[in-house]
C-alpha cells in the first residue's frame, strides 16, 4: 500500500506497518520543501533547472511544483531518463545535457561531486550571479559545483537540511515523535 504522496511522487523512501500492512511513504518531497523554507527561499514564480534524473529527482520536482515554481527544466546525461520523468510530469521541460536555460535556481541531483575530482562543466560566468545553487550532496559540504557558484556571486546550499528534514518526518512516522531540526542537529551533519 502507498500513501497518496508516495503515489504522486512515484517514489518511496520510508516504509512502516499499519493495520498489519506494509505502507510505503515519501518524506523527500516535504523534506526538500522544508529545506527551502529553512533557508527562506521562496520558489513561487521562479524558474528551476535540475541536473540529473536519479531517484530523488521525482520528489524534488513534485516539491517544486507544490511550492509554485513557474518552470522546471531537467537535463540528464542519459536523456531517456529525463524523458521518462517528463512522461510522469507533463509540465516538466527537458533539455540536452550541456544546455543551460535561464533560471533562478540550479539543482545538482547527479552523483557528480561525491568524489574530489568530480566536476559538472558549467559556464558559471554566463549563468551570472544572484541565483541559488543547490546540491543534494552534503558530503563534501561544498562540492566544486557549489564553490564555483559562490565565486560568481551566487547563494549556495547543500543537501544536509533536506536530509535532516526528511529524516525528521520519517522518525515521526515511525515513532510518533517529531524531533527538532536545529543548529545542533545540522552541525552533526557537517564533516569538514
Domain spans of the chain, in order of start: 4-188
Q: How many CB atoms lie within 10 A of CB 22?
A: 10
- Residue 100 CA neighbour count, 13 Å, CB half: 14
> What does the pLDDT read at residue 73?
98
Q: Does residue 157 register a pLDDT over 60?
A: yes
**CATH code 3.40.50.720 for 4-188:** yes
Q: What is the pLDDT of residues 14-62, one digit of tens each?
A: 999 999 999 999 999 999 999 999 999 999 999 999 999 988 999 999 9
Give the 3-state secondary structure of residue 22: strand
When pLDDT is averaged across residues 119-142 and rounded to a whole number, the result is 89
Whether the full predicted model's pTM is greater than 0.85, yes or no, is yes
Amino acid at each position: 500500500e502507498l500513501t497518496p504522496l508516495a503515489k504522486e511522487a512515484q517514489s518511496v523512501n520510508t516504509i512502516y506497518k499499519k493495520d498489519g500492512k506494509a505502507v510505503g511513504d515519501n518524506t523527500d518531497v516535504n523534506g526538500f520543501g522544508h529545506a527551502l523554507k529553512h533557508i527562506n527561499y521562496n520558489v513561487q514564480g521562479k524558474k528551476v533547472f535540475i541536473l540529473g534524473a536519479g531517484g530523488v529527482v521525482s520528489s524534488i520536482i513534485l516539491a517544486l511544483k507544490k511550492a509554485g515554481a513557474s518552470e522546471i527544466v531537467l537535463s540528464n546525461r542519459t536523456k531517456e531518463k529525463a524523458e521518462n520523468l517528463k512522461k510522469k510530469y507533463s509540465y516538466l521541460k527537458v533539455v540536452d545535457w550541456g544546455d543551460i536555460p535561464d533560471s533562478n535556481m540550479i539543482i545538482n541531483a547527479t552523483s557528480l561531486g561525491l568524489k574530489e575530482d568530480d566536476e559538472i562543466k558549467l559556464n558559471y560566468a554566463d549563468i551570472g550571479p544572484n541565483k541559488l545553487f543547490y546540491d543534494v550532496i552534503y558530503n563534501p559540504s561544498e562540492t566544486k559545483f557549489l564553490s564555483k557558484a559562490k565565486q560568481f556571486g551566487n547563494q549556495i546550499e547543500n543537501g544536509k537540511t533536506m536530509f535532516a528534514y526528511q529524516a525528521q518526518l520519517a522518525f515521526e512516522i515511525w515513532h510518533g515523535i517529531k524531533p527538532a531540526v536545529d543548529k545542533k542537529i545540522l552541525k552533526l551533519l557537517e564533516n569538514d
